[in-house]
Amino acid sequence: MKINSGRLLIAIAILTMTSGLFLTTSVAQTTGAVFVNANATNNQVWMYKRAKNGNLSLVGSFSTQGVGGGNTGLSSQGGVALGSGNKFLYAVNASSNEITAFQVKSTGLTFISKVASGGTFPNSIAVFGNLLYVLNSQGTSANITGFKIQSNGSLRARSNSTRPLSAALPKPAQVGFTPDGATLIVAEINTNNIDTYSIGLDGRATGRMTSSTTHSRRSAVWTARTTASARRRRNWLRPSGRRPSSAD
């Protein structure tokens, strides 16, 4: 398969053996898989099996049923992400402003559904437990928007979860969770800023704080923070954990 370098950046996710999805006789030498968001006009995700020696073999290409950026690169990291113990895969469709959900199998990807991203030109996804946040990078105002991952892998928009960044269009490059799920972080290119949001027990981001990347110590404090409330939040975000009784 020929990769059009003019369409970069493409996004890659790697699946390891922890899920057991590849423990079959026919792929006994497989240690995981690699997924690539092609960011094509007729967008696709490419799936590769990864051998123990690191060699990749193409499993197939799977339509997102959405529109990628085409010749416009994502200029980001995280355009595709695994969730729910590697059972599901999520990919951005930048030009149709959508997120596609797939079920992951050893033989390939099965389309589940797609949803509107809540903004314009989504270019990065972050997943923690049953919570997904997408970074919408363009339009009149860039934002982050939250979704709940349903038991079947589909996404449901979380009401009142859209939050602005430090500026209207700061060319944001990536959204990600801290390891404990307590904080959501967005990196901005044009402003050299890092935005941090606290994640509440209801899964909504609050209290944006913005730090210049020149203040590396300050951003590191946010990354390392773990509190009792964060542990409770992590339990809620896990599929087996406590969930709020109110509907989203």
Q: What is the pLDDT of residues 8-52, one digit of tens each?
A: 344 677 665 433 343 322 334 568 999 999 999 999 999 999 998
Amino acid 28: pLDDT: 42
Residue 217 pLDDT class (50, 70, 90 cuts): very low
Beta bridge partners, 126, equal: 133
Mean pLDDT in the chain? 82
For residue 35, give the nearest of 6, 4, 56 by alpha carbon.
56
Residue 207 pLDDT class (50, 70, 90 cuts): confident
- Who wins on pLDDT, 213 or 165? 165
Amino acid 7: pLDDT: 42
For residue 186, give the nearest of 146, 224, 135, 225 by alpha carbon.
135
The DSSP letter of residue 151 is: T
Amino acid 248: pLDDT: 58
User: pTM for the whole thing?
Assistant: 0.81
- Who wins on pLDDT, 162 or 227? 162
- Who wins on pLDDT, 218 or 204? 204
pLDDT tens digits for 173-199? 999 999 999 999 999 999 999 999 999
Domain 5-237 has CATH 2.130.10.10: yes
pLDDT tens digits for 109-132? 999 999 999 999 999 999 999 999
Sign of CA dihedral 64, 67, 71, 76: negative
Amino acid 29: pLDDT: 57
Amino acid 35: pLDDT: 96
Amino acid 15: pLDDT: 63
Q: What percent of the chain has pLDDT over 90?
A: 69
Residue 94 has pLDDT above 80, yes or no: yes
Structural domain spans, the chain: 5-237
Direct distance between the N- and C-terminal alpha carbons of the chain, in angstroms, rounded to an integer: 42
For the residues of 65-123, what is the DSSP string, one character each?
A: SS---TTS---SS-SEEEETTTTEEEEEETTTTEEEEEEEETTEEEEEEEEE-SSSSEE
Token output for 148? 């709940």
